[in-house]
């Protein structure tokens, strides 16, 4: 069976991939060409049934050439993405073609640590400490404890549960918001319809939701007005979850007190955006997954699903086609 992946991705996998029986790699080279067994081939000469959209492709301009291959290979049955989100038009188009998609939870630990670390920075006020050290002032800095705070995690899936697990270790109370089912890591799970009534209790509110027609701009003026004054707001889900002008207006009123934003409606964030210079906004460039552990977990997930695919077994993290198509509604 032919499997399409980048040459760099195959090199990173090494013998963990090359020794799997029953596969023939079709390699996507850095110049956009394809090779098989070291020989250049055209798209019409290959018939891969599976493909890996690895991070080395996903975050570069080469992704456009790779996507062109994916959408024009009639043989393709399954793709493993390195991304958690599935609202990209590429995945919608693939779902309509009947191609199966498995998304990634490899970044969940990294993003959870990013959230906790970012909140800790706000609570601990290290800037004042560093300034005192620079000024050689023997002066203590008061800080706020996470212990005893209440967190609301909206869209509590893989990332949300990893975040909840870490916040619980600091003795925070966790309210998980989920459309169906219960979170194993939250102290209590509520439905989106009950979210607004519980916001006044929450010291930290974290968006981890996917973007769809139901969640678009759920972070709006009405939502923020219901928050506790001075609360910390974090968005690591999708930029479109938040109405950015209404967030800025809400910040000016103190609800929330600070916004930690790793995702934005337009990326890269335009230089003209007022978010860059707002005193109560912390901007990071969609970098919460960029840990040392994420790439290895992504590789292991692809290999796990590849072995399952070869055996016609269930795939981990498969996203139903209806869910993917519905995300673009």
Q: What percent of the chain has pLDDT over 90?
A: 94
Res 59: pLDDT: 85
Residues serving a catalytic function are 238, 267, 286
Do 2-106+293-326 and 108-283 come out as alike in CATH topology?
A: yes
Average pLDDT over residues 216-235: 98
Residue 328 has pLDDT above 80, yes or no: no
Quick: pLDDT tens for 140-161.
999 999 999 999 999 999 999 9
Res 161: pLDDT: 98
- 179 confidence band (pLDDT: 50, 70, 90): very high
Res 240: pLDDT: 97
Residue 176, SS3?
Answer: strand
Sheet holding 188-190, edge to edge: 188-190, 173-177, 150-154, 204-207, 232-235, 258-261, 281-283
Res 327: pLDDT: 75
Alpha-carbon dihedral angle through residues 276, 278, 280, 281, given to the nearest 10 degrees: -20
Structure tokens given for 28: 């996507």
Whether the Cβ atoms of residue 100 and residue 79 lie closer than 8 Å to each other = yes
Residue 329 has pLDDT above 80, yes or no: no
- 5 confidence band (pLDDT: 50, 70, 90): very high
Quick: pLDDT tens for 192-219.
999 999 999 999 999 999 998 899 999 9
Listing DSSP states for 53-69 in one string gives E-HHHHTSTTHHHHHHH
Return the H-helix or E-strand segment holding 281: strand 281-283
Could you confirm whether domain 108-283 is CATH 3.40.50.300? no
Q: Report, in angstroms and rounded to the nearest whole number, the Rg of the chain calculated over CA atoms.
A: 22
- 80 confidence band (pLDDT: 50, 70, 90): very high
Res 233: pLDDT: 99
Quick: pLDDT tens for 84-115.
988 888 899 999 999 999 999 999 999 999 99
- Whether pTM > 0.85 for this model: the answer is yes
Average pLDDT over residues 228-250: 98
Provide the 8-state DSSP code for 210: P
Domain ranges of the chain: 2-106+293-326, 108-283
Fold (topology level) of 2-106+293-326: Rossmann fold (3.40.50)
The lowest-confidence range among 56-70, 260-274, 277-291, 295-309 is 56-70
Res 326: pLDDT: 81
Task: Please choose, from the candidates 284, 285, 206, the residue with its C-alpha nearest in 3D space to the C-alpha of residue 241.
Answer: 206
The overall average pLDDT reported for the chain is 96
Residue 325 has pLDDT above 80, yes or no: yes
């Amino acid at each position: 069976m032919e499997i399409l992946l980048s040459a760099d991705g195959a090199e990173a996998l090494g013998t963990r991939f090359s020794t799997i029986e029953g596969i023939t790699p079709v390699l996507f080279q850095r110049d956009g060409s394809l090779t098989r067994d070291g020989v250049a081939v055209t798209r019409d000469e290959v018939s891969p049934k599976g493909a890996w959209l690895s991070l080395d492709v996903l975050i570069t301009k080469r992704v456009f050439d790779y996507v062109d291959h994916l959408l024009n290979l009639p043989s393709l049955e399954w793709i493993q993405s390195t991304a958690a989100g599935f609202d990209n038009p590429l995945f919608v188009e693939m779902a309509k073609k009947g191609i199966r998609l498995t998304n990634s939870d490899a970044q969940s630990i990294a993003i959870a640590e990013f959230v906790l670390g970012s909140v800790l920075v706000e609570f601990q006020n290290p800037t004042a400490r560093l300034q005192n050290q620079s000024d050689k002032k023997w002066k203590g800095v008061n800080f706020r404890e996470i212990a005893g705070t209440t967190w609301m995690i909206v869209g509590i899936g893989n990332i949300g549960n990893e975040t909840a697990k870490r916040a619980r270790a600091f003795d925070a109370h966790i309210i998980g918001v989920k459309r169906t089912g219960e979170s194993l890591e939250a102290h209590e799970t509520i439905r989106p319809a009950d979210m607004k009534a519980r916001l006044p209790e929450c010291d930290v509110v974290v968006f981890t939701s996917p973007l769809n027609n139901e969640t678009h701009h759920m972070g709006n003026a009405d939502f923020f007005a219901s928050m506790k004054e001075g609360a910390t707001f974090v968005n690591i889900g999708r930029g479109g979850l938040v109405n950015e002008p209404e967030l800025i207006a809400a910040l000016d009123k103190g609800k929330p007190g600070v916004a930690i934003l790793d995702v934005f409606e337009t990326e890269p964030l335009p230089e003209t955006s007022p978010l860059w210079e707002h005193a109560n906004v912390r901007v990071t460039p969609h970098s919460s997954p960029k840990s040392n552990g994420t790439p290895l977990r992504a590789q292991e997930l692809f290999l796990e699903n590849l072995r399952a695919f070869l055996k016609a077994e269930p795939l981990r993290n498969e996203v139903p086609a209806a869910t993917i198509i519905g995300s673009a509604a």
